[in-house]
Amino acid sequence: MIRFLGTLLLLVITVPAAVAQKRPMEIADLYRFQRVADPQISPDGKLVVYQVTKVSLEENKSSTNLWLAATDGKTPPRQLTTTPKSDRHPRWSPDGKQILFESNRGGSMQLWVIALDGGEARQVTHISTGASTGIWSPDGSHIAFVSAVFPEFSEKPFKESDALNKKKLEEAEKSPVKAKVFSRLFYRHWDEYVEDKRQHLFVMSSNAESEPLDVTPGDRDANPTSSTFSAGDDFTFSPSGKYLVFTAVPERDEAWSTNYEICRVPIVGGKIETLTAENKAADNSPRFSPDGKKLAYRVQKKAGYEADKWNILVVDCDSDGGIKSEARNITATHDYSAGEIAWAGDQVLFTADVRGKGEILLADERQKTLGTLALTNGNASSLSVGSNGKLAFSLAMMSHPPEVMVAEKMFPGAAITNVSQANSTLLTQIDLPRPESVNVAVEGAEMQMWILKPPGFDPQKKWPVVYLVHGGPQSAWEDGWSFRWCPELWAAQGYVVAMPNPRGSTGFGQKFVDEIGGDWGGKCYDDLMKGVDYLEKLDYVDKDRIASAGASFGGYMMNWFAVNTPRFKTLITHCSVWNFESMWGTTDELWFDEYDHGGLPWMNPKSYEKFSPHKKAGNLGKFKTPMLIIHNDLDFRCPIGQGHELFSALQRQNVPSRFINFPDEGHWVLKPKNGEYWHKEVFAWLKKYCPPGGR
């Protein structure tokens, strides 16, 4: 039985003895750090496999390989695969002798298997549309995976359908005409054109070369198209191995519906059955208990609302995944929204945002109790439980990139060990201060805020501040690490970095989250201004050198600041929202705008107008706050036109402004050289209008 897990976490992941003189973090360090992800503990709990990405800034590329570590931490980890490309998503065979993974080492992304006792990896799939997210059946006899195919061919035998898919792809590649034709919405997502392909689930034998079978044919996605409705693997075999239970995209209106369903289908093909038809909001993440008698999954209750609280429901089931009881809500008594979930014996572990941390919590169905693994600091993710009770997971801090951690046992005082140690040497060289958490009084609530001081901080001097506003808006600044917006790197430039969690932030109760709805420029803006008031009263803050920056919703808030207040020396807005009216018609996921604004633009125009910065564009010329704009051509969430409109309004009113556009990037800037350029431009702009350093 899992109760609580007290830890000496800070001691466990502290790096080896520091060198004589540490230095501030450099831009290049973002790419020197190894990127550890997706730990998977072996069935017997003795080993953990995980992926490590190494980035070459000079070559502008990265490679990802699989590594193995002993869960007792007594022997150094070893590299399992070696490729200049990408080996990822490792999954253990039930007998613990093989690891299934996806790789593009042969060209397209396919599934491969490597034996634990050595030898070369063996390619398992040869499908023209690629294969990803492979998993094993409980007895290891079958493998299931995802492939995005053209649905018009999906009812045909595999050889015929695969040949037709290949022909269509090759014809499009060779054709001098690059026109794209759409017949419905959701034709693009995040940074790529989906067009008319559908993500289907395939099943094949693992024992010999065999043809995969498309078990979800037709014109519907059998895997989430939006990461909002995904939390780890989105499909699983039933305990008997005879069915797949999976998260299906809404059958219709997928661009404006959140009605994701839990479905099941025989692995030999057949009728798809919906298991959660009564709920018109989202259901996802099916997980069977170790004894195969229960099914847990995540559920929301408000249709169309992507930021509704995620609860965990548990039902009794048969070995084929058929439901035998009413669902029980095992997280109803607390106010945290469940993230990833995993069974540990007869209890359910789950991640959740909790006041600026990413905690691991547990729910006991029988006793209706809720406990926590009591992480002292950090942000936990990627839960994986071994049969011996050991837990592997990823843990990051604001001062520490993700590493693989193993909890030895589930009881008070149990040790947690960093078994990957991928960045320990580099961390001995860099001064990465720990953040301070403060609470700011705001109307009707408290706002938590992180304050990160720069290396070499002298409290007797006055320091400039960069006020970072997070995206979402239903998100939070956590004591975690980011390779994109890394607060430690900003602080290393000579700034105090403040990261507020205003209304709409997760981890402070669902009411706090809900209060951003339809009110982007209201309570949230007031909270943020209270945060600035707090900072200005600190003895070490230079109130004449305060800048602000943000992306996505954070970028929106930069634009709202620009038309409402002159108190910032400069603003940096990345992939932002400027015009709610044009945003609705060009973004990919319509449910977000429509729920937040209470309907369609022509049904509720005042809601779209009330907090849209473009309606107050004349104030840009009044306040004349210098603005740096970054917006990218492949950003389909906050499309490029938002940046164009803002830049035109700034330039037309002679406001100091600069527009940086990456034609090959989406909502994020992911290519190493582009990322380096992004940081150099941002820090140069800050230095010009809000000089760094204590005075």
The H or E element that residue 357 is part of is: strand 357-364
Write down the pLDDT at residue 413: 59
Tell me which DSSP letter residue 211 carries: -
pLDDT per residue as tens digits for the range 61-77: 999 999 999 999 999 99
Q: Is the pLDDT of residue 194 over 70?
A: yes
Q: Coil, strand or helix: which one is 468?
A: strand
CA-wise closest residue to 483 among 255, 670, 345, 333? 670
Q: Tell me the helices (H) and strands (E) count for the chain, helix number first.
A: 14, 38
Give the homologous superfamily in CATH for domain 436-689. Alpha/Beta hydrolase fold, catalytic domain (3.40.50.1820)
Q: What are phi and psi of 65, to 5 degrees?
A: -130, 165
CA-wise closest residue to 529 among 556, 474, 567? 567
d(CA 587, CA 642): 10
Query: In Å, how far are 231, 244, 290, 354 from 138, measured between CA atoms?
Result: 21, 11, 10, 34
CA-wise closest residue to 346 among 296, 284, 418? 296
Write down the pLDDT at residue 156: 97
- Tell me the mean pLDDT in the region 21-50: 97
Tell me which DSSP letter residue 170 carries: H
**Is residue 392 within 8 Å of 405, Cβ to Cβ?**
yes
More confidently predicted of 184 and 383: 383
Write down the pLDDT at residue 480: 96
Residues 6+ apart with CB under 8 A from 385: 41, 342, 343, 344, 349, 391, 392
**Is residue 350 within 8 Å of 360, Cβ to Cβ?**
yes
The CA-based angle 482-485-491, given to 5 degrees, is 100
Residues 6+ apart with CB under 8 A from 55: 31, 32, 35, 61, 62, 672
CA-wise closest residue to 535 among 523, 519, 524, 547? 547
- Tell me the mean pLDDT in the region 493-517: 97
Write down the pLDDT at residue 4: 29
Write down the pLDDT at residue 210: 85
Q: Is the pLDDT of residue 385 over 60?
A: yes
pLDDT per residue as tens digits for the range 242-266: 999 999 999 999 999 999 999 999 9
Write down the pLDDT at residue 10: 37
- Tell me the mean pLDDT in the region 174-202: 91
Write down the pLDDT at residue 12: 42
- Residue 366: pLDDT band by 50, 70, 90 thresholds? low
d(CA 662, CA 631): 7
Q: Is the pLDDT of residue 16 over 70?
A: no
The H or E element that residue 684 is part of is: helix 672-689
Question: pTM above 0.75?
Answer: yes
Q: How many CA atoms lie within 13 A of 140 on its CB side?
A: 13
- Residue 159: pLDDT band by 50, 70, 90 thresholds? very high
pLDDT per residue as tens digits for the range 435-451: 999 999 999 999 999 99
Q: What does the domain layout of the chain look like in residue ranges?
A: 1-36+49-59+336-432, 436-689
Instruction: Give percent of the chain with pLDDT exceeding 70.
Output: 95
pLDDT per residue as tens digits for the range 286-343: 999 999 999 999 999 999 999 999 999 999 999 999 999 999 999 998 898 999 999 9
d(CA 365, CA 295): 12
Write down the pLDDT at residue 641: 97
Cβ atoms < 10 Å from Cβ of 588: 21
- Residue 13: pLDDT band by 50, 70, 90 thresholds? very low
- Tell me the mean pLDDT in the region 188-197: 88
**Is residue 203 within 8 Å of 213, Cβ to Cβ?**
yes
Across the chain, mean pLDDT equals 93
Q: Tokens 């590299």 map to which residue?
A: 79
Least confident range from 331-335, 535-539, 613-617: namely 331-335
Query: In Å, how far are 122, 427, 500 from 22, measured between CA atoms?
Result: 45, 9, 28
Here the contacts of 513-516 (C-beta below 8 Å, separation 24 or greater) are 513/307, 513/309, 513/337, 513/474, 514/307, 516/473, 516/474
CA-wise closest residue to 141 among 90, 235, 80, 210? 210
**Is residue 218 within 8 Å of 151, Cβ to Cβ?**
yes
- Tell me the mean pLDDT in the region 183-194: 89
Q: Is the pLDDT of residue 412 over 60?
A: no
Q: Is the pLDDT of residue 425 over 70?
A: yes
Structure tokens given for 500: 């507020």
Write down the pLDDT at residue 401: 98
Write down the pLDDT at residue 617: 98
Write down the pLDDT at residue 333: 86
